[in-house]
A = this chain, B = another copy of it.
């Protein structure tokens, strides 16, 4: 928790203290008080800005001079490019050649160098960049500095909303949830921690049940931020933190994203909408409870709307 608090101080000037939104309609339906922490309104449109900044800002000078590198087709690449631009470092993002143009353009907008490669060649391409430049790898989730940074979202939430009984966050690689576990187990030891995961890619549920990291299923899901399997670090934290996983259908994800958009007027990406979908799945279990939901991001082209 000290690492999370240090991260909050370190990244504070460069991230938004994102707002918390509520819906009287939803609260009436569930007979509960649901609080949405809108990381969709974070810098670069997702919580990922927090972890990347925390990693970049604590590099020592010699490492900083060699720059940073990662591989990502999505929000983490944008987050690292943003963080590197703030510190004025070189940043290389290895991007699979089927990544959306708009995301690649955003990374370039922050001054990142882009190395395009095939999906299969991602890790090898990144290792070549590291070998050539000596750049530091900033892993999207299996990294203590990244995890501490992500934990600052839950830290703000528990400051903004007192007395939460349940905290919900999506699980992809487990970075956001690991940071959430650290914060919640420290600040609200009795709270239930619920991870939201697509039924299509339920590896975290199966990993925690079996006690062994399971690979991601590779099945398609609209929640494209949640396709990854856990890392050894995030798996250990989730297991120690007694995280319960609730899996949600693609239909439930779309219904939740539509509720965020048309009722609450917030653009939320499908990965970010899994939290509401999981709360609805819990149904009567949340009645009378105060539930905090971390809405992870808002970067989407709305292709799921039709």
Contact = CB atoms under 8 A, between A and B. Distances in A.
7 contacts: A19-B19, A38-B265, A40-B265, A261-B267, A265-B266, A265-B267, A265-B268
Contacts of A265: 38, 40-41, 45, 266-268, 298
Interface string A25-62: 00000000000001011000100000000000000000
A298 B21 CA distance: 15
Interface in A233-284: 261-262, 264-268
Interface of A: 19, 21, 38, 40-41, 45, 261-262, 264-268, 298, 302, 305
A101 to B, nearest CB: 14
Contacts of A41: 21, 264-265
A299 to B, nearest CB: 9
Nearest to A268: B265
Contacts of A40: 265
A267 B300 CA distance: 13
Nearest to A305: B302
Most buried by B among A19, A40, A264, A268: A264
Nearest to A260: B267
Most buried by B among A40, A267, A268, A302: A267
A303 to B, nearest CB: 11
Nearest to A40: B265
A261 B301 CA distance: 10
A276 to B, nearest CB: 15
Nearest to A45: B265
Contacts of A267: 261-262, 265-267
A268 B262 CA distance: 10
A19 B18 CA distance: 12
A60 to B, nearest CB: 29
Nearest to A109: B25
Contacts of A266: 265-267
A305 B302 CA distance: 10
Nearest to A267: B265
Contacts of A19: 19
Most buried by B among A261, A264, A265, A266: A265
A261 B305 CA distance: 14
Contacts of A298: 265
Nearest to A300: B262
A166 to B, nearest CB: 24
Contacts of A264: 41
Nearest to A41: B265
Nearest to A295: B265
